[in-house]
Amino acid sequence: MATVLVTGGTGYIGSHTVVELQEAGFEVVIIDNFSNSNREVLDGIASITGKKPMFEEVDLRDRKATYGVFEKYPGIGAIVHFAAFKAVGESVEKPLAYYENNLLSLIHLLEAMKRYGVNNFLFSSSCTVYGEPEQLPVTEDAPVKKASSPYGNTKQISEEILQDAMVPNPEFRVICLRYFNPIGAHPSAKIGELPVGIPNNLVPFITQTAIGIRDQLNVFGDDYNTPDGSAIRDYINVVDLARAHVAAIGRLLDGKQRSPFEVFNLGTGKGLSVFEIIHAFEKVTGVKIRYRVTNRREGDVEQVWADTGLANRELDWKAEKHIEETLLSAWNWEKFLHAKKSTG
Ligand code: UD1
């Protein structure tokens, strides 16, 4: 089987994808600079799959070092590109760092593809490109809206760079996966999300509140035009999401694409409100979440969920896990982190 290069492979979605790729029989080489992860994730992966992935500590902003990885592993047949900064708020504070890191990394990988004859590329994109969609569920041909943050803009620009790079390189094959809201952790609780500092995202904030790291959750607005007034998202289990990458890699390597550049939504097709998430978490864990309602968070959209028909049909993939199982996996991961911290 082909070797797959996974950039950002020790990150949250990256590590879960490495596990699924290994379990599907692929050889995996990870590139990471641990900017938002750590070396222990490699042990977590190995303890699930029984196999430590090959690993190179490289910063993709370093072109020479990036090329070095392709020289060392001539068997690379496809790239899954996760490595990127991803905090919306931070991107407003440090826009240039976001453009430099997220765009330069992509450019260096594309240059390396040309130079070393690697043609298959899977890109980690986001539903943020749809902004506040006019129609729900949102399909892949919904218009791309002006990004509300530099982070979101790097995803939009990256998709454009990929399309432009294909013009003089007709041998390139690209799939962009637009993630909705990935949550949860591997059922083994050996890998999961590692938020640094105060979590921005809902589910890590809930699990940290439940375990006592945070006093209470702020619910950002209950005056939206939704049934219970809180905002609605499409929360997808990270293992389901990871499996979609395996399907997409297979599609690239087997030459099954309908066109050389494709885009797929990865979600469940179902929207859940903030209050529904809180209640589902309380039900499945038996832990009450202290919360208060605050103002809306700037830049948040009211509601968005995916039309997953295209991904279901073309990737022969479907999100399978129920929200309660997913929230329980997030809780088990939080408890694992807590136990590890207490035992030093
Ligand atoms: C957003 C982007 C997503 C991006 C992600 C990275 C959209 C639609 N999605 O996700 O593409 O990858 O940021 O961080 O723009 N909430 C609270 N209290 C909290 C935290 C969140 O009420 O403490 C609410 C939010 O208002 C939102 C929901 O929970 O309604 C989910 O928020 P979050 O987990 O931050 O994800 P998005 O903002 O949807």
Strand, coil or helix: what is 224? coil
pLDDT on residue 343:
83
pLDDT exceeds 90 at position 280: yes
- Write out residues with Cβ below 6 Å of ligand 1: 86, 88, 126-128, 181, 200-202, 205, 217-220, 231, 233, 274, 297, 300-301, 304
Per residue in 180-198, pLDDT tens? 999 999 999 999 999 889 9
pLDDT exceeds 80 at position 279: yes
**Mean pLDDT of the region 237-262:** 98
% of the chain residues with pLDDT over 90: 97
pLDDT exceeds 90 at position 52: yes
pLDDT on residue 302:
97
Q: List the beta strands (DSSP E) in the chain.
A: 3-7, 27-32, 54-57, 76-81, 120-126, 173-179, 181-183, 217-220, 232-233, 235-237, 261-266, 272-273, 291-294
Half-sphere exposure of 252 toward its Cβ, with a 13 Å CA cutoff?
A: 29
pLDDT on residue 246:
98
Q: How far is the CA of 141 from the centre of ligand 1 (A)?
A: 22
pLDDT on residue 136:
97
Per residue in 98-141, pLDDT tens? 999 999 999 999 999 999 999 999 999 999 999 999 999 999 99
Active site residue: 12, 98, 130, 151, which one? 151
pLDDT exceeds 80 at position 344: no
| CA-closest residue to ligand 1 atom 21 | 202
Q: How far is the CA of 168 from the centre of ligand 1 (A)?
A: 37
Q: Is 179 a catalytic residue?
A: no
pLDDT exceeds 90 at position 342: no
Compute the residue count for the chain: 344
Average pLDDT, the chain: 97
pLDDT on residue 9:
98
| CA-closest residue to ligand 1 atom 30 | 231
pLDDT on residue 152:
95
